[in-house]
Structure 1
Amino acid sequence: MALPIPQPVKPFVTALRRRETYLGYAREAMSFAKCVARYPLGFGDGGLRSGRPSGEADRDTPVLLVHGFGHNRSGWFVVDEHLRHAGLTSVHRWNYDPFRHDVPELAEMLGERVERLCAATGFDRVHVVGHSLGGILLRWYIQELGGDARVITAITVASPHQGTRLASFVPSFGSLTAQQLAPGSWLMRRLERAAAPSAVRWVAFYSNLDFFVQPATSAMITTPALRATNVLVKDAGHLSILLSSRVADGVVDAIQHSPVADAVAS
């Protein structure tokens, strides 16, 4: 499945005139209910257990799923199912607490998780998928902590790469992590300045109806050095994009067409 060419997001007022907008909000409400129902299933550490190896590097390379702010590993049930159905044998989910640590600290913890995953599986490199804040942790890990030596494919889903206006309303005594997601914050400026070309393949899924990432185009990776592929998922919200079968298929496609998969196939 070829990844589509990025498309512009229409102004919010224009979106309100479309029937599809309201259907999208209805799907978002249903997705919220599904995530709430499954939330208790995501407590605790997911561990490092893998399925039975296939003996094929493109199928056995580890995939790490990183949830967003206030969520937990339970939110990945659709993506996880699609990855396993596609024959990937080493799919892992990781939990973290954004209320006790800021972005750089969490990114260090992500790096530690990747190291443990590599040690447990015997692979030197991994694929990582991050939803919302998870995608920002992934960027910091790759750009600031040498994660480009470990990550083959970096996929973000509804991640505020240029920040989100909602974070500007977080009070000074609130979550430091949330404050770091404000447009123009030192962290956002650092990510933009520190971006450099690498062998990592970047893919960003974004939506035109994401209430939590404002403006919605902030979920695109526009930094030229990263050479990212941006994929518009029309009429999806911040959670419904996470539960989208189209996004799950796109994640599978991006991983199956990663450099390691192409090398094995050649």
Structure 2
Amino acid sequence: MLASVPDPDRSPAGANDFTCRPSAAHPRPVILVHGTFENAFSNWSGLAPVLKHAGYCVFALNYGQTKPHALMKGTGPVPDSAKQLAAYVEKVLAATGARKVDLVGHSQGGGLMPQWYLRFNRGAAKVHRLVGINPSNHGTTVDGLAHVADAVLDVAGHTGKPLGLDVPAAEDQTVGSPVLRHLYAKGDTEPGVTYTNIVTKTDTLVTPYTNQFLTAVPGATVHNILLQDVCPLDLTGHFSGADDPNVHQLVLNALDPAHAAPVHCALRPIPL
């Protein structure tokens, strides 16, 4: 995050070359969608060059700003952010000539927000795959802190919440929110889209971690991957998932399963 302070709107290396044309091997552009309190540069400086090196046209948007050039983005209401994603997808499709894109997102950007786009902004017709890294699919209790904070502050007569829980995106991602109830009233997924959820059991932000798994409706495909089933000694937590080389290989495999490669399981001992 600190590296993006001088220019919070900058693109990560390898991303946002609008002259890129998808190859026959990788015909769909990949759009990277950052998480809450993140920005494109801070969230994707690790993965964007990996995808570019693998031959993809890579794009990364900034969304959900409550003020222009904010350092921490992804804080606005989820339905508003989904409209921004919809506009960005159209921009990428027009520039590349592709018919569909693949989305790779972290936290909100791999879960609730693109899920809203797929369902309510006609995104399912324009997205082939959604790959979520630690996705906030069914919301979070933040280990119970969200509801505890509400109760304590109500009793104390204070307004606002600690830990940034008063921003619209955080409220929308809290278990039981109106946005979550509306989104999943007709099932978890959209027909025609393939979903991959890469989840770590050491996640202490999107809790319980099992909330990140999805169930397929008819016509959709879901792959729920628990990181520790692949790499038992990888203790990567919520925040560092997008920078984990083991996760990077799982993303590459999800985007191109016909050429999936083994994950060599680099040691990640710190659950952050």
Confirm or deny a common fold (TM above 0.5).
Answer: yes
- How large is the RMSD of aligned CA atoms in angstroms? 2.4
Deviations 1:148-196 (A, max 9, x none): 1100111111112111113443677421221111111111122222335
TM-aligned CA deviation for residue 101 of structure 1: 2.7
Percent of counterpart pairs with the same letter? Answer: 27
TM-aligned CA deviation for residue 124 of structure 1: 1.7
TM-aligned CA deviation for residue 41 of structure 1: 6.7
2:98 is aligned to 123
What TM-score comes out, normalization by structure 2 length?
0.74
In the alignment, structure 1 residue 214 sits paired with structure 2 residue 207? yes
Structure 2: runs of 5 or more not aligned: 67-74, 154-158, 161-165, 229-234, 260-272
TM-aligned CA deviation for residue 257 of structure 1: 3.0
Could you list the structure 1 runs, at least 4 aligned residues long, displaced by more than 6 angstroms after superposition. Answer: none
Quick check: 249-258 or 132-141, which moved more? 249-258
What TM-score comes out, normalization by structure 1 length?
0.75
Q: What is the letter of the counterpart of residue 54 of structure 2?
A: A
In the alignment, structure 1 residue 76 sits paired with structure 2 residue 44? yes
Query: Superposed, which structure 2 residues align to 1:1-266 within 5 Å?
Result: 36-40=1-5, 43-44=8-9, 46=11, 48-50=16-18, 52-53=20-21, 56-74=23-41, 75-88=43-56, 90-97=57-64, 99=66, 101-135=76-110, 136-166=112-142, 167-168=146-147, 169=149, 173=160, 174-195=166-187, 196-222=189-215, 224-225=217-218, 226-234=220-228, 235-257=235-257
Structure 1: runs of 5 or more not aligned: 1-35, 262-266
Aligned-partner SS, 2:5: helix
Contact 1:162 1:219 in 2 (8 A): yes
Bigger relative contact order, structure 1 or 2 (CA pairs below 8 A, ≥6 apart): 1
Q: What is the letter of the counterpart of residue 94 of structure 1?
A: L
In 2, the alpha carbon distance for the partners of 1:139 and 1:203 equals: 12
The structure carrying a bigger helix percent of its residues is: 1
In 1, the alpha carbon distance for the partners of 2:48 and 2:6 equals: 14
Give the number of aligned pairs. 222
In 1, the alpha carbon distance for the partners of 2:212 and 2:206 equals: 7
Deviations 1:179-229 (A, max 9, x none): 111111111122222335411110001111111111111122235454310
Contact 2:119 2:190 in 1 (8 A): no
TM-aligned CA deviation for residue 52 of structure 1: 4.9
